[in-house]
Structure 1
């Protein structure tokens, strides 16, 4: 698997604690990020705190609340054992899926497993599109300009293909750009345009890649197809929100109408049937 940035999100350099001599700002920020993500996933546990790299009283209290939540000793100290519990969702997302009978089925399994872990971005140093989940999908990159929808889609495909000892990047380039993937689909005669889809939705199969088109050669968002209906695709997509934004806040399963919206599809049928 080429996109393995998640491994860097699973550990801290040293045990971190209030005013600790071994405290490292980047580790404390990582801890604070996961504390906030835990509160977002489990509202009311009391772990939301500032992400500023300073392990003070507030962070210590948030750690205590997390330790209470998982049934651990409440000492406010964050060692690797507690951190592994704190960041467990990203480990589950990347390591808890086995290959299914086909690559398409595995793509769906992987995407479903990710969305269940509630991947969400954070605002860090006044920069949206930040945090551990964004970094895992964007090969370590984060910040306001790093829209992460294609990073998410390619992470899902990379993980699924790798489980079958295949390389998705033999089919499409490693990129964060929807336009780059759209143009490669045209080059490989794999792009199904919206008009064709409206005439025959059965051309699209679960596991294919939706590209939301702004103009003929300009695509602004992407998603994994999970189900194909008469008028709609059910998708799993990153960097979206309740309004279907192409610069939202998390990973969600949603329904998009291909008769009311201009949705093209990168079909994988040439390679995986």
Structure 2
């Protein structure tokens, strides 16, 4: 895989604990991030805590609460083994072997694997679009300006293509910009405009990339198409919410009406 920053999110430099001699603020923030992410899916757990890099009594209590949830010794200490439990979802999303035998099915399988593991952004230091999931999709970048929908799409395409020993960069450059991908699609003849798609939805195939058009050369959101039914596409997309925002908080599965949005489609066929 070309987009492999996620591997850095799976490790801490040393054991972290309250008053630990080897405490590292960056690693403590990682721990606090995963504790908070766990609390989003398990609101009863008592693991939500400040993400400030300080391994104080609140973080220690949150770690013990997580350990109780997992049925392990409640000592409040985070070894690499304990951190593996904290960040399991990220590793599962990126490293669990994909079983499909063709690119389009691999793209869908990878997108569904990420969806199942609940990628979610955090607010850290007052900055949205932050946290380990965002950095994994955005090659280490996070913070309010880093809209991560295209980072998510390219991570999925990269993961799927790598199974077949293909390089997603032959299709498009590594970019976080919908405009860049849309323009390249036009130049390569891979982007079909919404006006044409509304007349012939058979031009859309599962695994292709949708781009929501604001104007002819300006696209504001993207995601993976997983199925097409009449005038409706089902999608898996990052940095969205239940309203379909281009700057939401999570990876979600959505339905989109082709007749109500200006949805262009970028074909991945050259990689197939």
* TM-score bracket, shorter-length normalisation: over 0.9
The residue that corresponds to 2:35 in the other structure is 35
Instruction: Give the gaps of 5 or more residues in structure 2.
Output: none
The residue that corresponds to 2:119 in the other structure is 119
Where do residues 92-107 of structure 1 align in structure 2 (5 Å cutoff)?
A: 92-107=92-107
The Cα of 1:270 is off from its aligned counterpart by: 3.8
Determine if contact 2:161/2:271 at 8 Å carries over to the other structure. Answer: no
SS in 1 for 2:205: coil
Q: Distance in 2 between matches of 1:34 and 1:49?
A: 10
SS in 2 for 1:261: coil
Q: Distance in 2 between matches of 1:169 and 1:42?
A: 38
The residue that corresponds to 2:84 in the other structure is 84
Q: Aligned pair 1:148/2:148, yes or no? A: yes
Q: Distance in 1 between matches of 2:79 and 2:222?
A: 38
The residue that corresponds to 2:244 in the other structure is 244
The residue that corresponds to 1:52 in the other structure is 52
The residue that corresponds to 1:163 in the other structure is 163
Runs of 4+ in structure 1 over 4 Å off: none
Deviations 1:51-105 (A, max 9, x none): 0000000000000000011111000111111100000000000011324121000
The residue that corresponds to 2:233 in the other structure is 233
SS in 1 for 2:212: strand
Q: Distance in 2 between matches of 1:112 and 1:232?
A: 19
Q: Distance in 1 between matches of 2:88 and 2:253?
A: 21
Deviations 1:20-51 (A, max 9, x none): 11110000000000000011122211100000
The residue that corresponds to 2:206 in the other structure is 206
Determine if contact 1:209/1:224 at 8 Å carries over to the other structure. Answer: yes
Query: Taking structure 1 as the reference length, what is the TM-score of the superposition?
Result: 0.98
Instruction: Give the gaps of 5 or more residues in structure 1.
Output: none
Q: Distance in 2 between matches of 1:271 and 1:2?
A: 15
The residue that corresponds to 1:128 in the other structure is 128
Query: Taking structure 2 as the reference length, what is the TM-score of the superposition?
Result: 0.99
Deviations 1:156-205 (A, max 9, x none): 00000001111111011110000000000001101111011110101000
Determine if contact 1:220/1:246 at 8 Å carries over to the other structure. Answer: yes
